[in-house]
Amino acid sequence: MATSHGIKLAVYLISSFFGDLNAKVCECLLRRGTLTLAQIMQFTELSSPNARKCLLVLIHHNCVQAFNVQQEGTFGTAPRIVTHYMALFDYIIHRIRLPKFMEIVTKEFDKECDQIFEGLVQHGRLSLQQILDRHGATAKKGKSGADAALDRFKRLVSARFVERCPAPEPFIAPPTEDEKAAAKKKGRKAAQMDEKTIEIQALEAAAPMESLRFSIEMESLNDDASEKTKEMAIGEKRKKDEKELLAKDENQVLWRVNVEEFLRRLRNKACVANVKARLNDEAAIVLDAILELSKSSETKVKVDHSAPVSIDSIYDAVITKEGGIGMDLERIRSSLAQLGCEVPLVPLDESYSIDLKNIIEMAKIEEVEPIVWRRYGKEAYRMFRLLSQSGRLMPTDEISDSTFVEKKDAVRILLGLWKDDYLEMRKVLLRGNNQTELMLWRVNKESLWKQVLDELYHAALNLRIRIIHEQELDHQVVGELRTSNRGDPKQRRLKLESAFFNLDDVIMIFHDF
């Protein structure tokens, strides 16, 4: 969801990491949509070599996806294949989460795995041979060192922290005559609803098959190639020709960070934290156990429900967790009821699934309610809370009576929330002896979440700019500044960075989960 301030944040991130020229190309694609190289050159006024160079860098760091489409010929000319480029907004924003991903890897594996993962974070895409060369295993430690490094890489792939890169330039075939005929039969509206955008088709065509996504082909290692890199020092960054960044050879398998796995873990952590604060520790322990048990069957971040898990499996997992040793089946069932789970109709198959979508919705509401309180006051908070919980259209009188606010004040507050797009209003004419107009109110969550997300992006952009400013001050600081009332620049920067990462946690709730 690329909102106005979301695009500004993405462009600023690209500028910070890769420079202004790359940011210019990225902004062009984010604002104008999918474009060809000629169009990018036209809108950015960059030369062909510069535009190509920028696209190669952005593709290599998973910020742009290229794909080929067939362009119809004119006046007897044959159709030709044209390459299009689209910006991957989500992957650009994910760059601010790389420290969180690194922290997860560090906690789960040893330092050597951490170094391998760090290489992918820095370089975007690498082949297995490049990963091992960078790690320095074949250079200084011999074959046993190479085997150890390969084993650590396998552990990262097995944990789904690393995945195969998508195809560099998939071909999107034009619809066949049968498909066109089927679309005509469905009707224009139905066809538009079923039709996937060219961007979605490109992403699906580029994605590797699930069976190959985490598969390591050992024959891709080349012992001869490793001999040529023996003189390279550990961690040394190799200088490459720009064309090598894209790795045109489709037979070469490239690897990158698997963002989905990290987002899934961060989502689970956010859900458990929300339940712990909203309900109690026992419900959080039960939820954590279910999410851990169902992780093997989950492949997507945005799912409505967790996979069904039997009560026996839940009990076995709960008693192994801190605070869960004393919990029996009845207390677990009580926590499951608090989490919204219904008692199974078949007692012999007592399995439970958690409504994750509802937990995320509750987390969003809890983030918005304090904003309403600060901006509009306590009465507005009570009205907004009532409407968000009811989920239906409510008349002004009912809202006024339920929140104990005078009708005149209620109308004023509701209109204020409506003008700022926090509420949706509908007017209904009641016909009778005296025709009256009735105002109905509700929270339009879809539009409200988008508005709040844009405000969060705005705040994140301002924080990011302030952090960079503090870093510059830290480098330029002199003795008299250290003794001034401004305090230690490093401490200020650390506080700002902590606030930034906390803000990003909220952004993920509204956008990624």
Would the pLDDT of 239 be above 80? no
Strands (E), 226-282: 254-257
Residue 187: band (very low, low, confident or very high) from pLDDT cuts 50, 70, 90: low
Q: Model confidence over 307-339: pLDDT tens digits?
A: 888 999 999 999 999 888 889 999 999 999 999
Class of residue 512 by CB neighbours under 10 A (exposed 0-12, middle 13-18, buried 19+): buried
Q: Model confidence over 367-415: pLDDT tens digits?
A: 999 999 999 999 999 999 999 988 889 999 999 999 999 999 999 999 9
Sign, CA dihedral 305-308-312-313, equals negative
Contact partners, residue 345, CB within 8 Å, separation at least 6: none
**What predicted TM-score, i.e. pTM, was given to this entire model?**
0.84
Q: Which residues pair with 42 in a beta bridge?
A: none
Q: Model confidence over 62-109: pLDDT tens digits?
A: 999 999 998 876 776 778 899 999 999 999 999 999 999 999 999 998
From residue 501, alpha-carbon distances to 12, 61, 222, 299, 473 in Å are 17, 22, 41, 25, 21
> What does the alpha-carbon distance between residue 31 and residue 329 come to, in Å, rounded to a whole number?
54
Report the pLDDT value the prediction gives residue 346, as an integer from 0 to 100: 63
Residue 352: other Cβ atoms inside 10 A: 22
Residue 243: band (very low, low, confident or very high) from pLDDT cuts 50, 70, 90: very low
> What does the alpha-carbon distance between residue 484 and residue 24 come to, in Å, rounded to a whole number?
39
Would the pLDDT of 364 be above 90? yes
**What integer is the mean pLDDT of 454-472?**
91
From residue 427, alpha-carbon distances to 418, 430, 442 in Å are 13, 10, 12
From residue 417, alpha-carbon distances to 184, 412, 442 in Å are 44, 9, 11
Q: Model confidence over 403-447: pLDDT tens digits?
A: 999 999 999 999 999 999 899 999 888 776 777 888 999 998 989
Residue among 24, 59, 62 at smallest CA distance from 45: 24
Cβ(295)–Cβ(313) below 8 Å: no
Mean pLDDT: which of 104-118, 270-284, 477-491 is highest? 270-284
What's the helix, strand, coil split of the chain in %, to 5? 65, 10, 25
Comparing 151 with 195, which gets the higher pLDDT? 151
Q: Which residues pair with 499 in a beta bridge?
A: none
**N-to-C CA span, the chain:** 12
Reduced to 3 states (helix: H, G, I; strand: E, B; else coil), residue 509 is helix
Token digits of residue 117: 């993962």
Report the pLDDT value the prediction gives residue 237, as an integer from 0 to 100: 45
Q: Which amino acid is at 172?
A: I
Q: Model confidence over 12-48: pLDDT tens digits?
A: 999 999 999 999 999 999 999 999 999 999 999 999 9
> What does the alpha-carbon distance between residue 7 and residue 173 come to, in Å, rounded to a whole number?
30
User: Strands 80-87 and 35-36: what pairing?
Assistant: antiparallel
**What integer is the mean pLDDT of 215-240?**
48
Q: Which amino acid is at 165?
A: C
> What does the alpha-carbon distance between residue 500 and residue 513 come to, in Å, rounded to a whole number?
18
Q: Model confidence over 250-304: pLDDT tens digits?
A: 458 899 999 999 999 999 999 999 999 999 999 999 999 999 998 877 767 778 8
Comparing 482 with 73, which gets the higher pLDDT? 73
Sheet of 254-257: strand order equals 126-127, 254-257, 162-164
Token digits of residue 53: 């160079």
- The DSSP result for 416-485, as a single string, is HHHHTTSSEEEEEEE-SSS-EEEEEEE--HHHHHHHHHHHHHHHHHHHHHHHHHHHHHHHH--HHHHTST
Rounded percentage of the chain residues whose pLDDT exceeds 90: 59
Report the pLDDT value the prediction gives residue 399, as an integer from 0 to 100: 93
